[in-house]
């Protein structure tokens, strides 16, 4: 007979979101967005207390719950990984969201806020203390801490929905988090994300398509200030045979493999489409593909370079 206390049953909790990720990637912003959306939020809950907490919350099934866990609980992360697997096998629906960002973006954020990295004590504390007087030494120590954190959280990242915040403003992140939790469904959610290659490929992309070889509306004077969501740009691109060919090929590829991802119980698939500026072609492709797949699967659209 097992000594492990019984967990909450499959129908005992309506919605649980676990927010985790790299320090400086925006977990506080995400948690505040969830709180504004009506979630009961708990920050930095020790993983050892997760099951007990969920058991208590099972008596309030009408309440949506968001829990933030990060590297401050590094010693408990192995326990968290096994516990998540166990809870899911018991029928508890936990949506884990992992926020990530490029190392350059994280270094910039820590430098702007002057906050120490949570793992600074694990490395050279004196190096962090010299940040103000020795910028190069402080930067190296900070990068070492970030890379150590990536290693510690790698397995948790693999079990989660990944969201790249490198280029996001707080308003965009709040909007994306709200869209994510509103799309919670037993089926796969397909995300089409436009981006500019000059700002880097999104870290959360499962597939990346490059549309920079296609005719560029930027070079048409009246189309330059518009975006791929505007009718004149859409009409211009729709008239290009190469655009129709690439759209059809991407659609066929995704249609062929979506059932395999659904059979693999994937809940979230991000298709990133990039062009030079992230304004015209990639936006048009994201909008058009989302429209084509909307009747088959839950879809979300993100335009990283456009205003939220």
Q: Residue 94 pLDDT > 80, yes or no?
A: yes
Q: Please tell me whether 174 is known to bind a ligand.
A: no
d(CA 36, CA 126): 39
Contact indicator for 216, 280 with CB cutoff of 8 Å? yes
Of 21-30, 75-84, 121-130, 135-144, the one with minimum mean pLDDT is 121-130
Pairing of strands 207-210, 268-275: parallel
- Residue 25 known to bind ligand: yes
pTM of the model: 0.73
* 62 φ/ψ angles, rounded to the nearest 5 degrees: -80, -10
232-286 per-position pLDDT tens digit = 999 999 999 999 999 999 999 999 999 998 888 788 899 999 999 999 999 999 9
Query: Is 146 a known ligand-binding residue?
Result: no
Is residue 8 scored above 60 in pLDDT?
no
- Whether the per-residue pLDDT at 50 is higher than 90: the answer is no
Strand partners, 303: 194
9 is in an annotated binding site: no
- pLDDT above 90 coverage of the chain, percent: 48
Q: Is 160 annotated as a binding residue?
A: no
Mean pLDDT, the chain, whole residue set: 85
- 208 annotated binding-site participant: no
- Render pLDDT for 121-143 as a digit per residue (tens, 0 to 9): 655 544 444 444 556 666 788 88
pLDDT band at 48 (very low <50, low <70, confident <90, very high): confident
Residue-level pLDDT at 51 = 86
Give me the residue spans of the domains in the chain: 15-179, 187-303
Q: Please determine, looking at this structure, whether the domain spanning 15-179 carries the CATH number 3.40.50.300.
A: yes
Is residue 19 a known part of a binding site? no
Is 133 part of any known ligand binding site?
no
Q: Is 267 annotated as a binding residue?
A: no
How far is C-alpha 49 from the geometric centre of its chain's CA atoms? 25
126 is in an annotated binding site: no
Q: What does DSSP assign to residue 132?
A: T
Q: How far is CA 64 from the centre of its chain?
A: 20
The verdict on whether residue 97 carries a ligand-binding annotation is no
- Residue 3: what pLDDT? 46
Is residue 166 part of an annotated ligand binding site?
A: no
Segment 72-91 shows an average pLDDT of: 77
pLDDT tens column, 184-205? 555 788 999 999 999 999 999 9
């Amino acid at each position: 007979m097992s000594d492990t206390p019984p967990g909450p049953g499959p129908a005992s909790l309506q919605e649980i979101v676990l927010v985790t990720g790299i320090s400086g990637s925006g977990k506080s912003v995400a948690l505040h967005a969830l709180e504004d959306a009506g979630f009961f939020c708990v920050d930095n809950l020790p993983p050892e207390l997760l099951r007990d907490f969920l058991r208590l919350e099972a008596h309030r099934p009408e309440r949506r719950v968001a829990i933030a866990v990060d590297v401050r609980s590094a010693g408990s992360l192995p326990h968290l990984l096994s516990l998540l697997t166990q809870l899911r096998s018991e029928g508890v629906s936990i949506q884990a969201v992992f926020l990530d960002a490029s190392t350059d973006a994280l270094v910039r954020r820590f430098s702007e806020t002057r906050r120490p990295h949570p793992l600074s004590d694990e490395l050279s504390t004196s190096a962090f203390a010299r940040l103000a007087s020795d910028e190069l030494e402080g930067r190296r120590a900070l990068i070492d801490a970030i890379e150590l954190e990536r290693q510690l959280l790698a397995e948790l990242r693999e079990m989660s929905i990944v969201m790249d915040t490198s280029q996001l403003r707080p308003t965009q992140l709040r909007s994306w988090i709200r869209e994510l939790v509103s799309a919670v469904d037993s089926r796969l959610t397909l995300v089409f994300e436009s981006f500019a290659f000059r700002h880097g490929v999104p870290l959360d992309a499962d597939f990346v398509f490059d549309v920079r070889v296609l005719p560029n509306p930027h070079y048409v004077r009246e189309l330059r200030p518009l975006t791929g969501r505007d009718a004149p740009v859409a009409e211009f691109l729709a008239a290009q045979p190469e655009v129709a060919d690439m759209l059809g090929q991407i659609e066929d590829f995704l249609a062929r493999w979506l059932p395999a991802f659904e059979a693999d119980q994937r809940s979230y698939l991000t298709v990133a489409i990039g062009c030079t500026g992230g304004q015209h072609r990639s936006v048009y492709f994201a909008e058009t593909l989302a429209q084509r797949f909307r009747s088959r699967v839950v879809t979300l659209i993100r335009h990283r370079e456009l205003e939220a």
